[in-house]
Structure 1
Amino acid sequence: MANLGVLTFHRCINYGSFWQARCLVLGFRSLGAKPVVLDHRSDRVSRAEWRCALQPLLPARTARSDISLYASKIRKFQNAFASFPLSAAFALDEPLAPEDCDLVVVGSDEVWNFRHPWYGGVPLFYGEGLSAKRIVSYAATFGSHPAANGLESYWADKLRQFHAISVRDENSRTIIERALGREAALVLDPCLQFPETIAPCRNLVIPRPYVAVYGHSFPAWFQQEVRRWTASRSLPLISIGYRNDWADEQWLDGGPYEFAAFIAGAESVATNFFHGCVFALLNGKPFACVLSDYRSNKVRDLTRMVGAQRHVVSQKTPPADYESILGEAPSPAIENRLEQLRLQSRSYLTNVLD
């Protein structure tokens, strides 16, 4: 019988999803556990995942010349997925008692986000069908589902069966407290909790300074301000994983290990993704993040939690502020706050592992 099962989105073609799953598994190993990733499968989800990976900028269609690059990116992810210790495969939508575990940890992705385009509202992530002595969550999130919308009793009743609940943002904590009448622990994303588990591609060498672009569908004003700042420093903008024509160069087929090295080697980071912020923070890189409708809850709450609010920019941000936002390393107070949160998160993990 496996000691511990990790239930997450472990086959997403997404840098953040890959790294938070890998960091959680390796983090549990460092704490003496023997984790396996519960290997849920779904043709419906696989088709949606591939469609999104090949056409990430819909409704804008992917140029034919980019399709092969995005396909190469998918293959690199598939090779990386092989590093996960997996349970026996089982159906996502009609699970037949996946592998018995002493403990199942649900997280650390948008496992409870009803607005996720293909994982939203899947009962498995609320504990249904799991055979385990105890079920807990670690750094789970409701993502773009706002606390103001509440949680229906059907889902709340499922979460009441969890022995312990931790989340990674205030929005999710508020939802749990209002719906269940219990406090949820606030913990760090596994990438920030276990930074020592991130092994970037050692062979990546970009022989000149650059600014990393991670995300897509950036507003025009953000593009303009970032380009103005990089031009003043004679720094090229390199976009990884997604086409951004306002960047100087495109690296569409970067794999997850290459992504980690790419952010670690950048002068600074321009992003609208949660893990763009996370990887900038764990590498101590200056970064500017603009909020998007889908990711605003988790990005806003992360930056508030660690004291990095000034790195979230808006159309009202004065152009002069970009000099420090993109040109200066994050405040040492942020790293101090991260250390405090690591202790808090470790306390939660050691308690649930006992």
Structure 2
Amino acid sequence: MAKLGVLTFHRCINYGSFWQAHCLVQGLRSLGAKPVVLDHRSDRVSRAEWRCALQPLLPARTTRPDMSLYASKIRKFVNAFASFPLSAAFALDEPVALDDCDLVVVGSDEVWNFRHPWYGGVPLFYGEGISAKKIVSYAATFGSHPAANGLESYWADKLRKFHAISVRDENSKTIIERALGREATLVLDPCLQFPETLATWPAVTHDRPYVAVYGHSFPSWFQQGVRRWTASRSLRLVSIGYRNEWADEQWLDGGPYEFAGFIAGADAVATNFFHGCVFALLNAKPFACVLSDYRSNKVRDLARLVGAQRHVLSRKTPSAGYEAILGDVPDPAIADRLAELRSHSWNYLIDVLD
């Protein structure tokens, strides 16, 4: 059987990064493959990752009590990373351990985002130094790098070596097609593609019904709109992973497995993160999302892809709009669209694994 490596951001202290890596590995196993996660290491990246995890709301400084809780969250992630089937460790900038792979799957995650604060522009994720017989991408994204900025020939030439390219958003699809003159297949994020991977995690039980808050730095008008709606329903706002003072409760040290159960147990979700939307969709939860500068491309494109545009709110959204999207389950047409996209994504994976 071919030796298959998965190249992604597998050590990020981020719920979405963890789960898309986990779901991709388990999904590839369901297709008969035996993937290993290519275990790149970098002291520079590790320092940046931990600094961000301990001080996620800069320029606001983390208080000492919160610092302890964020440290606990980090430990839960480190323990969860041990579940990945890992290759031998190698230096991020010297990928000398990749000769053994017949096939390397790059993605999912922002592997091509030049604006990522510490992984941006790392040649490895563009195939540099990978001597596998075949390199493909799955649900890769350029993240906050806009299609209008294009792709320099230096990076485009590297991506031309890929046997097949799939992305998870229209922005990335446009970049590839303009720069390379070839089609990029639009596929689902691994969490949406392989929902059975998450089905084994039970919903969190809570003493009162709650709305999950996932993200940070929400605009005040969104905070006020969500709070008005939850007050009208006697629901509590519980923030996971980050402190949001406008929430009723803070769960700062929730680990990745707890996160999955937390969203599953919520009555609704308020988020400005991509995977906040993804996990709400997975659990068919009502959700309200607001765009942020860093995540606007991928969140907007996800909403368009699955037909959930009305769940992306703006300052102009009236109070009745919050009731309409947070008070009712998502349109059944979204589930139909996801089923269609899963079939399409499945076909892509079957083709590249053949």
Question: TM-score of the superposition, structure 1-length normalised?
Answer: 0.98
In 2, Cα distance between equivalents of 1:17 and 1:131 = 25
In 2, Cα distance between equivalents of 1:236 and 1:144 = 32
Amino acid in the other structure paired with 1:119:
Y
Indicate whether 1:324 and 2:314 are aligned: no
Residues 97 and 129 in structure 1, CA contact (< 8 A), matched pair in contact too: no
- Find the residue that maps to 1:270 and give its secondary structure: strand
1:161-240 correspondence runs (5 A):
161-198=161-198, 201-202=201-202, 204-240=204-240
Deviation of residue 207 (structure 1)? 2.6
| Deviation string, structure 1 residues 248-304 (Cα, Å, up to 9, x no partner) | 000000000000000000000000000000000010000000000000000000000
Residues 199 and 260 in structure 1, CA contact (< 8 A), matched pair in contact too: no
Residues 200 and 258 in structure 1, CA contact (< 8 A), matched pair in contact too: no
Residues 88 and 97 in structure 2, CA contact (< 8 A), matched pair in contact too: no
Amino acid in the other structure paired with 1:21:
A
1:75-224 correspondence runs (5 A):
75-198=75-198, 201-202=201-202, 204-224=204-224
- Find the residue that maps to 1:132 and give its secondary structure: coil
2:253 aligns with 253
Deviation of residue 319 (structure 1)? 1.1
In 1, Cα distance between equivalents of 2:197 and 2:272 = 24
Residues 97 and 131 in structure 1, CA contact (< 8 A), matched pair in contact too: no
In 2, Cα distance between equivalents of 1:64 and 1:152 = 44
Deviation of residue 205 (structure 1)? 2.0
In 1, Cα distance between equivalents of 2:334 and 2:233 = 26
Indicate whether 1:293 and 2:293 are aligned: yes
- Find the residue that maps to 2:133 and give its secondary structure: strand
Amino acid in the other structure paired with 1:6:
V
Aligned CA RMSD, in angstroms, stands at 1.1
Deviation of residue 206 (structure 1)? 1.1
Amino acid in the other structure paired with 1:275:
H
Indicate whether 1:242 and 2:248 are aligned: no
- Find the residue that maps to 1:158 and give its secondary structure: helix
Deviation of residue 192 (structure 1)? 0.2
2:276 aligns with 276
Residues 200 and 261 in structure 1, CA contact (< 8 A), matched pair in contact too: no
In 2, Cα distance between equivalents of 1:284 and 1:89 = 38
Aligned residues: 354
| Deviation string, structure 1 residues 148-187 (Cα, Å, up to 9, x no partner) | 0000000000000000000000000000000000000000
Deviation of residue 99 (structure 1)? 4.8
Q: 1:298 to 1:274 in 2, by over 3 A?
A: same
1:58 aligns with 58
- Find the residue that maps to 2:115 and give its secondary structure: coil
Mark the runs of 5 or more structure 1 residues left unpaired by the alignment. Answer: none
In 1, Cα distance between equivalents of 2:197 and 2:172 = 26
Question: TM-score of the superposition, structure 2-length normalised?
Answer: 0.98
In 2, Cα distance between equivalents of 1:2 and 1:82 = 23
Percent identical: 85
2:14 aligns with 14
In 2, Cα distance between equivalents of 1:349 and 1:2 = 14
1:333-348 correspondence runs (5 A):
333-348=333-348
In 2, Cα distance between equivalents of 1:200 and 1:350 = 25
Q: 1:351 to 1:2 in 2, by over 3 A?
A: closer
Q: 1:327 to 1:197 in 2, by over 3 A?
A: same
Deviation of residue 93 (structure 1)? 1.5
Residues 211 and 269 in structure 2, CA contact (< 8 A), matched pair in contact too: yes
Deviation of residue 100 (structure 1)? 1.5
2:72 aligns with 72
In 2, Cα distance between equivalents of 1:17 and 1:116 = 13
